[in-house]
Amino acid sequence: MPLLAFTGPCQFRGTYLPPGDKSISHRAILFGALAEGESVYENFLEAEDCLHTLEAMRRMGVEIQHEKGTGKVRISGKGLQKLSAPGQELYLGNSGTSMRLLLGILAGQRFETVLTGDPSLSVRPMRRVTDPLKQMGAQIKGKENGNFAPLTIRGGKLRGIDFDNKLSSAQVKSALLFAGMYAEGRTIVREAIPSRDHTERFLEAAGARFQKIGNNLIVEKTEMLLPIHGRVAGDISSAAFFIVGAAMIPGSEVTVQDVGLNPTRVGFLEVLKRMGASIETQVKQTVPEPMGTIHVCGAKLKGTGITHEEIPSLIDELPILMVAMALAEGESLISGAAELRVKETDRIQSMVRNLKAIGASIEELPDGSLIRGVEEFHGATVESFGDHRTAMSLGVASLAAKGTITVRDTECIATSYPAFTDHFFRLLKS
């Protein structure tokens, strides 16, 4: 069982270039495969989750050139209607994004496919996607009426639906927008609280019959998608570990370059600013994705609250924000975050248990946590629970620890950020 040991107290200092964005890398492969013509991307994230998406499209007949270690992919698109039956089940590892988005694409294909994953993915809820896809006309079978993998899907003739995305889930939304390109009539996805909008940006860039009216997303049957050439922006969710780590330790100073600054992804920066962090952003590119620089200086932070309305813009950053809140002066309250319980692990439970083990004052709530700041952490051995964001957050917690924090079961980090430890120790200053 691989483990990593992090010894503090320390600071982060230096300039940092994050890996390619995980969410965008998934979509780059999917849209490239469905386009007519050749799509070329640089800075593709070569993490396990994204590679599962890449391999799934290869198994359905898409030619993809990818030289490992270069971040470059060249995709010879087959078009919306010309994917081939894979001939065997598609194994997607631990990637919920791969499974949910592929369900939307496979709903429009005229063949049967079986989607499987590792034990963690096999207990993550899928009915939020499979139920509306069934309403559109897809045939889907799985444990508990299509709620858990393995899932068998047979696509066919789809019809558009009007769907209220109450979970504000980008994965649910994206699956339905993919399926909507195959459906007769209009598919409307309504969002009271907008979730990350990478799929919408790809739809527009690829020429889909798509429009956004207020908080309503409308897609109609699309005959052809255009290929795209571009660079995947740096992943702000990966950079968040070093941004938050620098913000919570006085004396730290980090500059993050070429990082994605999509407005639907930067909610955690606003939380840090409320807590008293010194953060400056500079946008250098706006199309197809906002990208630029973040400069952060460490300070003694103060507690704050995070409400349901903010959760979609910072759902992936909540574990590392919990670390910062555990060191902040006063109380912090996270509410409306029940979605954390159905990630790779129950992240509320895993973070509360581990933060207590290193000396934090934290109380688990049904939809979040109540945290009272302490001055420092102490060393301990903690568990990742097989979750990459839990593991990386605990590594960053060591910056404020007197002693060594040893994280068990750390191979999970490779699902999203294989270079994390290398980048961590490169920025680390005692």
Per-residue pLDDT of 283-317, as tens digits, reads 998 877 999 999 999 999 999 999 999 999 999 99
Q: Is the pLDDT of residue 1 over 80?
A: no
* Three-state secondary structure call for residue 153: strand
- Distant-in-sequence, close-in-space partners of 37: CB < 8 Å, separation ≥ 6: 77, 226, 227
Q: What is the pLDDT of residue 111?
A: 96
Phi then psi dihedrals of residue 26, to 5 deg:
-55, -50
Handedness of CA 169, 41, 21, 123 (dihedral sign): positive
DSSP 8-state secondary structure symbol assigned to residue 258: E
Task: Give the pTM.
Answer: 0.93
**pLDDT in the model for residue 288:** 79
Burial letters for 95-112: b for 16+ Cβ neighbours within 10 Å, e otherwise?
A: bbbbbbbbbbbbbbbeee
Reported as a single tens digit per residue, the pLDDT across 241-255 is 999 999 999 999 999
* The two three-digit tokens of residue 393, written as one number: 């957050």
Q: Are 184 and 159 in contact (CB under 8 A)?
A: yes
Residue 175's identity, in one-letter code, is: A
Residue 430 has pLDDT above 90, yes or no: no
- What 3-state class would DSSP assign to 360? coil
If pLDDT is split at 50, 70 and 90, which confidence band does 200 have?
very high
Q: Which residues of 262-300 are buried (b: 16+ CB within 10 A; e: fewer)?
A: bebbbbbbebbeebebebeeeeeeeebbbbbbbbbebbe
d(CA 430, CA 419): 21
Structure tokens at 8: 């503090």
pLDDT, tens digit, 9 for 90 and up, residues 216-232: 999 999 999 999 999 99
CA distance 265 to 269: 9
Phi, psi (rounded to 5 degrees) for 56: -60, -40
Average of pLDDT values for 31-46? 97
What does the pLDDT look like over 86-133, one tens digit per residue? 989 999 999 999 999 999 999 999 999 999 999 999 999 999 999 999
Residue with tokens 């903010």: 310
Q: Is 367 an annotated catalytic residue?
A: no
Q: What is the mean pLDDT of the chain?
A: 96
In the predicted model, is pLDDT for residue 2 greater than 90?
A: no
* Structural domains of the chain, ranges and CATH numbers in brackets: 3-19+233-429 (3.65.10.10), 22-228 (3.65.10.10)
**Cα–Cα distance between 332 and 317 in angstroms, integer?**
15
Q: Which two tokens stand for residue 151?
A: 């899932």
Question: 47-89, pLDDT tens digit by residue?
Answer: 999 999 999 999 999 999 998 999 999 999 999 999 999 989 9
16-37 per-position pLDDT tens digit: 999 999 999 999 999 999 999 9
The strand pair at 11-16 and 253-260 is best described as parallel
> Alpha carbon 421 to chain centroid distance?
19
Q: Which amino acid is at 203?
A: L
Which parts of 135-236 are beta strand (E)?
139-142, 148-154, 158-159, 162-164, 183-184, 187-190, 210-213, 216-219, 229-231
Stretch 183-194: mean pLDDT: 96
Catalytic residue of the set 316, 346, 367, 387: 316
Convert the pLDDT of each residue in 253-281 to its tens digit: 999 999 999 999 999 999 999 999 999 99
Residue 3 clears pLDDT 80, i.e. is over it: yes
